Structures are given as structure tokens and as C-alpha cells.
Structure 1
Amino acid sequence: MSKADRYNKMYPISWEQLHRDCRALSWRLLEKGPFEGILAITRGGLVPAAILARELDIRLIDTVCISTYDWKVQEKKATVLKDFKGDGEGWLLVDDLVDTGGTARLVREMVPKAHFATVYAKPEGRPLVDTFITEVSQDTWILFPWDSETQFAQPIVKVSQENNS
């Protein structure tokens, strides 16, 4: 199966839903802290990190920059564009999603003592995350609001019929 074929479903997330889910994640993280700071995995972790920083009243924010995805095609190897000094102790590591776990494994090696939280998790990457809100199937592409625009969508039954013909 090609990488583009592994996503059979699309799960669009609105700005409002993302905000609600991040607030729900904040509630779960309250008992895990306090945290010294937030370490956001860019780019997907930036928006959740901003919401979590507000809700948990965390002012110290840093980033670890990893490049792994290009739309629906996952590159063969993750590229570290910016790392983090330290083992992550006392830090909250944040990303939007854990998918296959490739990025998560790499960042876990970099900051093994950080508490890793994602908003969404898929089964393959789920064991690498300490806290998350919503699990989605492995074959679902999560369409984040920063990657989309409002347009007409075919009813699910018609899309299903087109895929089966």
C-alpha cells in the first residue's frame, strides 16, 4: 500500500473544535503539572501550545523543529531543524497529533523526561504519548484548520460510492 493510499478517511477539525479539544487537554494536564515550560513540536504543535500556555498560565515556551510531513506524503526520514538542550525534565512537550510515531520517537529520545501531550492520537503512535484527548483510526487523515479552507463537500454516501466503483 502506498503512503497516499493509507488514508481512507478525512477528519476535518474546525478552529472551534481544536480550541475545545485543547482546553479539554488542559484540564487533563492540570494534575500532571506544574510545568517549567512548554516545548512545542513545530509546526503542528504551535497552536495547541499557545492554547495550553494560556490555560495553564505557562509563559516559558520553546520549540523543537522537526520536518516529516509534506501534505499526505510522509518523507522517509525526519529532519531535525532545531533541537532542545536538556532532557526535558519539568517540561510539557506538545504536538497536534501522534500518527505513526516517527516524530514522537525522535523527540522522545531528545527529551526523554518531558511529559508528552498531543491533542489527537492514532493507534501506532499512541503508546509514545503520556496524555491525549481524542484517538482516531490509523487510516484517517486529520485535516487541521490551518491546512484547509471552506468549500463544498460531497455527501459521504456519494464519496463512498465513488470509491467503491
Structure 2
Amino acid sequence: MEGPFDALLIITRGGIVPGGLLCAALDIRHVLTASVEFSADLSRQARLFAWPTFLQFPEEALLEGKRILVVDDVWRGGRTIVTVCRRVEAAGGKPETAVLHYKPKESLFPHLRLDYFAAVTDRWIVYPWELDRDIRGTRLRIEEE
């Protein structure tokens, strides 16, 4: 990664673990979060065309004129990262993107390129910290004793 970043903007919840690791590795002390969601009220098909809404986002003063590393776990369609980056740009920031996995076959933005990614895949991913999911991504029922 080129040069120092002024801040790291973690997209919750997927970006929390990789963002935390990057903060330590790059010695980034200014850590921000963006919380977004896709409406649960929409049908599965309608969700494919929906844009996320913000539940929480940093104040513009924290972004203006700053080089911001935007971190998430995976780029599937790309709507979440694109939405966050557009808002960073609207605040006067300069976003760069980083994810663990890039899925170009699922991308809704084939003309856009991520700045940093660890691997390209078209497979389903279950991260080690997703202890409540099986290999299909279905939530597991955890028995309480």
C-alpha cells in the first residue's frame, strides 16, 4: 500500500476484522466506521437492485481533504463500497478501497477497480470469525446449555 493514510474507514460488520488487522499492520490510529444496511423489507429480487442506507457515518470534517482507506471483507456486487466511497468523496475525502476477497463475476461495476485485495474468487466464503454460519452461509442454530 502506497504511503500513509490519514484514516481507515471500516464498513461494518464485514470490515471489522480485516480493518482491525490493517490498523495494526499499517499503524493507522484514526479509525472510523460506516454502518450500512439493505432493507430487510424488500424481496430477495428487489434487494438485488437496492442501494444501502446509512445507519451511521463519520462527520464530514473527519474526511475532508484526507486520504481514507475504506475496508470491507468482500466485494460482491460492489454497491456497499461504491456508496461509502461516493459519500467520502462528497465530503471532500480521497477514498481508496481494500477487501480480502474480490468477486469480479458478481460485480455490478466492472469498470471500477479495487485499489487493494488479497484474492480473487467466485466461491462462497465463510470467514473464521463467522462462527454462526455453515459452508452455504446459512445461519446455524446454536444450542444454549
Q: Quick check: TM above 0.5?
A: yes
Match of 2:17 among 16, 41, 47: 47
Deviation at 1:33, TM superposition (A): 2.2
Tell whether the 8 Å contact from 1:87 to 1:110 is kept in structure 2 after alignment: no
* Partner in structure 1 of residue 115 of structure 2: 130
Write out the 4+ residue segments of structure 1 that deviate beyond 4 Å after TM superposition: none
| 1:50 alignment partner, SS class | helix
Correspondence for 1:78 among 52, 64, 73 = 52
Unpaired segments ≥5 residues, structure 2: 136-145
Do 2:8 and 2:19's aligned partners in 1 also have CA atoms closer than 8 Å? Answer: yes
Give 1:117-156 correspondences, 5 Å limit.
Answer: 117-123=98-104, 124=107, 127-137=112-122, 140-148=123-131
TM-superposed deviation, 1:149: 5.4
Comparing both structures, which one devotes a greater share of its residues to helix?
1
In structure 2, distance between residues paired with 1:95 and 1:35: 16
Specify the alignment match of 1:89 in structure 2.
66
Distance 1:82 1:64 in 2: 6
Q: Distance in 2 between matches of 1:122 and 1:51?
A: 21
Inter-partner Cα distance in structure 2 for 1:43 and 1:83: 13
Aligned residue pair count: 118
- Measure how far apart 1:87 and its partner are: 4.7
CA deviations over 1:91-124 (Å, ceiling 9, x no partner): 2111111110111221121113111111111101
* Identity among equivalent pairs (%): 33
Specify whether residues 146 and 48 from structure 1 end up closer, same or farther in structure 2 by C-alpha distance, changes over 3 A only. same
CA separation of 1:43 and 1:150: change in aligned 2, threshold 3 A = closer
Query: Where does structure 1 lack aligned partners over 5 or more consecutive residues?
Result: 1-28, 154-165
> If the length of structure 1 is used for normalisation, what is the TM-score?
0.62
**1:36·1:90 contact (CA, 8 Å) conserved in 2?**
yes
The structure whose RCO (Cα within 8 Å, separation 6+) is larger is 1
Normalised TM-score (structure 2) = 0.69
